[in-house]
Structure 1
Amino acid sequence: MGKKKRKQFFFDEDTPHGLIKRVMLKKYLQAYIAKTQAYNAKTQDELFNLKTVYIDAFAGEGRYGSNWPTEIEKYGSPLIALMVVLELYYNRDMKKQGGKNKDEPEVTNTFGTEVLEDQETGYSEAAEILGYVSQEKSDIEQGGIWGWTTSQVEAEEELATKLETRSQRRDILNKSANITLQLIEKDTAKYMKLAENVELLIMKFLERHYPEYEYGFSQEEKSTLFDINTGYFSVRVEVYNQAFADTSAPQMLRDPSVRSLTFLDPFGFKDTPMAHVQQFAPGPGNEILINFMSSFVNRFVSKSHEHVLQLYGIPLEVAKYYGIDQSDGEENEDKLVEFVKRVIHFSQPQKECEFSNNINKCARNYEAFLKKKINCKYSSLFELKDKQNTTLFHMVHVTNHVRGIEAMKESMNRCSQKEGEMVMSDYDVFCKGQNLNFVNMDDNEKVAEMIYSQFRGKERVPISDINDYVLLDTNYVFRKRPLNILQRSGKITTAVDNLKRPQKSKGRFPDRDIETKQELTWYISFADEEFRSESVDGPDVKKQKLVKDVKEKKEKKERKKGNKKGRRSSTRADEREETSMSEKSKGHRKRRGSKNVNNKKAKKRKKLSHVELGDNHVNVNNNGASSSLVGELAKDANGHIFVPPTHEQTNERQEEKENSVRKLRQCTLTETLQIVKGEKETYTEKSSKQQDKKKRKRKLSPSYGTLDRFLKS
C-alpha cells in the first residue's frame, strides 16, 4: 500500500481516539466562544466587545462521506467550529423569542426518522452508532438544530442543484464580524470539498431556521469567503488553499481586543516548526491547541533530528555551543542526534517515576518549550493510545487565562477514561469492551485527601488558592463536594466569608449572597490533627449523633424541672413502694410461715453474725454458740466480746430504722438538715404559723402558665 493510500485510509477510518479528539474540541469551543462573546440577556449588549478568531491550520474536508448527522462530533473540525458558532446565535435568538419557531419542520436523522432526545440523560447517537459509547452514561449532546437526510450525490452536485432552485447568495460585506473562522487546507481537492461543505451547511441551516436570510459569498483562485451579518449573526468564514508553513498570521491577532484559538492537527511533525507556531500567538489573548505526534517524534528522532530541533525551537547554534558541528562529518552528526535525544528525553531525577516511557518525556518537554516560547502561564496535556495500548499522540493546550485552562481541563476530564488521569486508550474499547463515558469521573474522597494534605494546619486559606491548587497541580477539576466532605469529617474547623460571617449551613460555600447578590470569598481553616477516616453519610455516625442529642435534651428537661416538684413526686413514689413492699411481706409471711424470713434480712443477719477472729472466720448461731468453738465467745479484732443479737432485737431495730426514714421523708429540706445536725429533736411537731405561711404563698404565687398568659395580655 502506497503512502497516499495509507494516509487516506487513516483519515477515512473513524476511531475512538478520533472521536475523543473531536468531543474535546467541541466542548472547549462551546465554552470558549460563549465566554469571549458573552452578552447581557436583558439589554442584549455585549459585555466585553471582543473579536473571536478561530484558525484551523489542517482543516481537511470537514465531513466524512455523504451523511448529514445530527451529532456535531461526527463532522470534521472546521464544520464543528462553524456549527458551534451558529448554534450559539440560534440559542440566543430563541431565548429572546421565548421558544422555538413553530414553522420549523421536524428534525430527522440520517435514517429519516424523528429524532427524540433522551430527557433524562441528553445523550446522542453519535458514539452509540459507532459502537464505542455506553448507552447509560454519555455527555455527547443531541439537538434538533442539525441533521438532514443522507444525500445520494456528491457535495458538488448537491450544491449545484440547490443553487439552481433557490439561491441565497449575495456579495460579501466589508463589515467586520464578531467571529472569524479561518480554515486552511493544503490539498486542492480537499480544499474544494471543504468550501462546498461549508456552503451546504450554511444553506441548510438558513433554509430550516431563517429562510428569509441571505449569506455573503466570494470566491477567488485560492480562497473562498462567506459571511452572515443579519440579525443576531455576525460570522465570517475564510477558506484558504495553502500550506500552514506558507500562511502568515493575521494582523488582527496583535489587537488587544481580539481573542484567538489556533488548532493544529497535522499528520506528522515536520509541518509545525516552533518558529512558525509562535507567530500565531503574539499576545496574551492568543491560545494554541496542537495535536503533538509524540510517538512519531520519538520514533524518527535519529533520521529527522533537524526537524525535531525545529519542532522544539532549538537553534543549531545551541548544539555548536556544546561543541557539535553538523558540517564536520558523521561523528558530529551522531553527537548531534545524541544531543537531541538528551534534550527531548530529559527529566529530573525526582520526577523520573512520573513518566512511563520516553514518548511521555517528549510530550512533557514539548509542552514546557511551547509554554516558554509563547510566554504562556498555563498548559495542559492529554494522552491518547492506539489498539496496542501504546501512546499515539498528545493534545497540548497553552493559554494565558485561568478561565481557559479551567474550560480545557473540564473538557479533558470528561474525555478521560481513567479516574485521576488525562488518558484514553483504544485498547480498553476494542480488547476490554469498555464503553466510552463522557462524564466527570473524579473521586471526591481522593480530592479531599489531596486538599487536606496540602493545606493541613493552615488558617484562613482563600477558596481561590484551593481552586488554583486543584486546577494547576493535579489532574482533577475543582468541585466544592470535597470541601463538604472535609468539613463534615472535622478536618475543616472554620469557614468565614469576606464579610466575616459564618456559614448558614454546614458544607456549603455559595459564590453569591442570596439576598444582596454580592460576591463572596470564603476563608477556610484546616485542622492540624489526624482524623479517623469515616464515611460522612454512614449510618453509625448519624446514630451516635442522634443518641447524644437525645441524652442532652433529656438532661436539659430534668434541670428545668423544679426541685419542689421533684421532691414531692419522689416522696409519693417512695411511700407507694413502701406500702406495696409491706403488704407483700405480710402476705409472704402468712403463706410461708414465721420461720421463713426475707432474703435481704437473712443476708444482713449473716453479716452481723460473721465475726473475724485472727486468720479464722467463725460463724456464730442465733443462740450465741459457735459452730467450731463450742462454749467459747467470739471476739472482734479489738478483743471485745461480741454477743450476737437475738431475732426479736433485729426486727425491732429494723422497724425503728424504717420509721425514722419515713418521718425524714415527710419533713422539708431545712428540717432534715436541722435533724441531721441535731438542732431539732422531733419530726412531727411543726408550728402552725409556718404552715399558715406556706398556704398563703401557694395561694398568692401563680403557676408558670398563668404568669405567661398574664404577661402576654
Structure 2
Amino acid sequence: MANTTSIIWPLEPHTEIKHIILRRYLNSWLPIISRYHGKIVYIDGFAGPGEYSFGQDGSPIIAIKAVLDHKFKLGAKIRMLFIEKEEDRCKFLKEKINKIQPPSNLDIEIVCEEFRNIIDSILKTVEENKKNLAPSFVFIDPFGFSGIPLGLIKRIMQNPSCEVLINFMYGDINRFLDLDDNEVHLTETFGTDEWKNAPKNDPNKRLEFLHDLYKKQLKSFSGANITFVNSFMMKNKSNQTSYFLFFGTNKIEGLEKMKEAMWRTDKSGNFEFSDATYRPFQGVLFEDKPRYSELKIIILEKFKGKTISSKKLGDFVVTETSFLRSHYKIPILRKMEKESPSQIQVSNRKRKGTYPDDSIIKFL
C-alpha cells in the first residue's frame, strides 16, 4: 500500500486495474439505467483528491469522464456525489473538478465529511418521506475497514435499482483481526461476530473463510440481503491479497455487465490480479482462454437428463458460475450437438447450430 498521508500519492497497479473495472462497468451501466430512469445517482464514498502523483485520474475524474466521453447520449439527469473526509484532499478535488465544464444534465457535488454520516443522512430523509433513492451506483473504497457497516449497505440496497462496489480491505482485516480494539469495527463490518471463528494457523483457509463470510453476509436476509454478489481479488507486489472488490446488485443485468468487465481484466476467469506479475509492456504469447471443459462439466452435472430453455441455461451460467452468457452456446452446445451421437436435442429454433433464448435444450 502506498503512503497515503500526503494529499496525492503514487498509483499502484492494482488500483489502476480497479479503476479500469470501474470505468468499464460505468460505460455499460450509464446508458442502460438512463434509458429507463429520468434521474440516476453516482456516489463515491471515499473519493480522495481525484489525482495521483504522476497526474493519473482518480476515481471521481474517471466517473465524470465516463459521462463526458460516453459514445451514447445520456438523457437522464445525473447527480454525482463525491465524499471525502480529509479536508486537504477534499479541497484539492474541488479545485480539480471546478476546471471541468459539465453538461447541463450533470450535477456534481463534493462534500467534506464521513461517508457513513452523509449516507445515513440521505437514507434517513428518504425513509422518513417513505420514498426510494433514485437508481444509484455507490462506490465504497476506503483505506481501512471501519466506517462501512453492513447495516448501512443493507439500507442502500433496500432501494430498487441500487448497486454497490465495495473494497473489502482483507489485508488490513487480516493484520488486525486479533486486536481487541477492532472487535466493534469488525462486527459492524461483517454484521456478525462469526469472524471470530476464522482459522488462526492456516493463512489460505483464513482468507477463504473471511471472504466467504463477507459474501454470505452481503447475500443473506439477515445481512445486506443482496441477490447477486461477485468478487475480484487484488494482490500487492509481494503477491499477498490486499483486498477484494465485492459487487452487489439485485438485477441479473448488472451482474452480467460487471462480470463482463471483470473477465476483460482477467481473461482466465479467476477474477484476480497481482502487482507481482503485472507486465504492462510485455507481450503475451498465449492469451488466457475460458476453461470451456470446466463449464461443460458444471452444466452436465446440473442438467444431464433434463430439459431447459436456452435463456434459463444462460441465466444459470451467469448467476451460478464464474462464466459469461457468451461462453455456453457456440463453444459448448454447438460442439455437443455435433458429437456422434449428439449429446443434446434442440427444439423450437429455425436454424441448426443456433440457440435463441426460447429454444429448448435437452441434455441426453
**Length-normalised TM-score, structure 2:** 0.85
In structure 2, relative to structure 1, the CA distance for the partners of 1:394 and 1:428 (3 Å cut) is same
**SS where residue 322 of structure 2 aligns?**
coil
Of the candidates 181, 184, 188, which is equivalent to residue 310 of structure 1? Answer: 188
2:97 counterpart SS class: helix
**Match of residue 73 from structure 2:** 92
Per the alignment, residue 496 of structure 1 pairs with 347
Over residues 651-689 of structure 1, what are the superposed CA-to-partner deviations in whole Å (9 max), with x where a residue is unaligned? xxxxxxxxxxxxxxxxxxxxxxxxxxxxxxxxxxxxxxx
Q: Report if the CA contact (8 A) 1:495-1:503 is conserved.
A: no
Structure 2 residue corresponding to 1:62, chosen from 50, 55, 61: 50
2:153 is aligned to 277
Which residue matches 2:83? 184
SS in 2 for 1:34: helix
Could you tell me how far apart the structure 1 residues matched to 2:6 and 2:266 are? 26
Q: CA deviation at 1:453?
A: 3.4
| Structure 1 residues 552-631: aligned runs within 5 Å | none
Instruction: Determine the structure 1 residue equivalent to 2:270.
Output: 421
1:240-639 to 2 correspondences below 5 Å: 240-247=111-118, 248-250=121-123, 251=125, 255=131, 258-303=134-179, 304-314=182-192, 340-342=195-197, 344=198, 356-372=204-220, 373-416=223-266, 419-429=268-278, 441-459=289-307, 461-479=308-326, 480-481=329-330, 482-489=332-339, 490-497=341-348, 502-504=349-351, 506-510=352-356, 521-527=358-364
After TM superposition, give the deviation of residue 10 of structure 1 in Å.
11
Q: 2:95 aligns with which of 196, 200, 203?
A: 196
Distance 1:51 1:78, change over 3 A: same
Residue 255 of structure 1 deviates from its aligned partner by 4.4
Q: Structure 1 vs Structure 2: percent identity of aligned residues?
A: 26
Match for 2:29: what amino acid? Y
The Cα offsets for residues 428-467 of structure 1, whole Å up to 9 and x where unpaired, read as: 226x997689x883133433343233322223x1112211
- In structure 2, what is the Cα distance between the partners aligned to 1:369 and 1:436? 39
How far is 1:368 from its partner? 1.3
| SS of residue matched to 1:92 | coil
Quick check: 1:292–1:396 contact (8 Å CA) kept in 2?
yes
1:51-74, CA deviations, whole angstroms, 9 ceiling, x for partnerless residues? 21111000011122474xxxxxx4
- Alpha-carbon distance in structure 2 between the residues aligned to 1:420 and 1:182: 32
Report the Cα distance in structure 2 between the residues aligned to 1:187 and 1:495, rounded to whole angstroms. Answer: 60
Residue identity in the other structure for 2:73: R
Distance in 2, matches of 1:243 and 1:13, equals 24
Q: CA RMSD in A?
A: 3.1
Which residue of the other structure, out of 71, 78, 83, is the alignment partner of 2:65?
Answer: 83
- Please give the TM-score of this superposition, normalised by the length of structure 1: 0.45
The one-character-per-residue Cα deviations of 1:300-342 (angstroms, maximum 9, x if unpaired) are 111112211111123xxxx7xxxxxxxxxxxxxxxxxxx6421
Cα distance change on mapping 1:188 and 1:447 into 2, 3 Å: same
Paired AA for residue 122 in structure 2 = A
SS in 1 for 2:11: coil
- Give unmatched runs, 5+ long, in structure 1: 39-47, 68-73, 94-176, 203-214, 216-227, 320-338, 347-351, 511-519, 528-713
The AA in structure 1 aligned to 2:136 is: S
Q: What is the number of equivalent residue pairs in this alignment?
A: 349
Q: Is the 8 A contact 1:495 1:524 kept in 2?
A: yes
**SS, match of residue 19 in structure 1:** helix
- Bigger share in strand: 2
Structure number with higher relative contact order (C-alpha < 8 Å, ≥ 6 residues apart): 2
Cα distance in 1 between the residues matched to 2:73 and 2:195: 51
- The CA deviation string for residues 372-431 of structure 1, in whole angstroms up to 9 with x for no partner, is 2222211101111112221110001111101011111111112225x241111122226x
**For residues 238 and 10 of structure 1, do their structure 2 counterparts lie closer, same or farther at Cα, with a shift above 3 Å needed?**
closer
Find the aligned partners of 1:302 and 1:446 in 2 and give their Cα distance: 38
Aligned to 1:49: 37
Which amino acid letter does the alignment assign opposite residue 61 of structure 2?
Answer: L
Q: Is the 1:305–1:340 contact (alpha carbons within 8 Å) kept by the matching residues of 2?
A: no
What secondary structure does 1:441 align onto?
Answer: coil
- For 1:10 and 1:422, locate their aligned partners in 2 and report how far apart those are by CA, in whole Å: 31
Contact 2:151–2:224 under 8 Å retained in 1: no
- Secondary structure of 2:208's counterpart equals helix
Q: Is the 8 A contact 1:428 1:434 kept in 2?
A: no
Task: Report the equivalent of 2:19.
Answer: 22
Letter in 2 for 1:235: L
Residues 476, 249 of structure 1: CA spacing in aligned structure 2 closer, same or farther, 3 A cutoff?
A: same
Q: Report deviation, 1:242.
A: 0.8
Give the distance between the partners of 2:334 and 2:299, measured in 1 at CA: 12
Judged with a 3 Å threshold, the aligned counterparts in structure 2 of structure 1 residues 252 and 442 are, in CA distance, closer, same or farther, namely farther
Matched position secondary structure for 1:270: coil
Please, which runs of 5 or more residues in structure 2 have no aligned partner? Answer: none
Q: What SS does the aligned partner of 1:237 have?
A: strand
> Does the 8 A contact of 1:275 with 1:313 survive in 2?
yes
Q: Is residue 492–residue 524 contact of structure 1 (8 Å, CA) maintained in 2?
A: no
For 1:249 and 1:368, the matched residues in 2 are separated by 26
Distance 2:48 2:228 in 1: 29
Residues 111-165 of structure 1: per-residue CA shift (max 9 Å, x gap): xxxxxxxxxxxxxxxxxxxxxxxxxxxxxxxxxxxxxxxxxxxxxxxxxxxxxxx
1:206-262 deviations in whole A, cap 9, x for unaligned? xxxxxxxxx6xxxxxxxxxxxx32xxxx11111111111321235469745821111
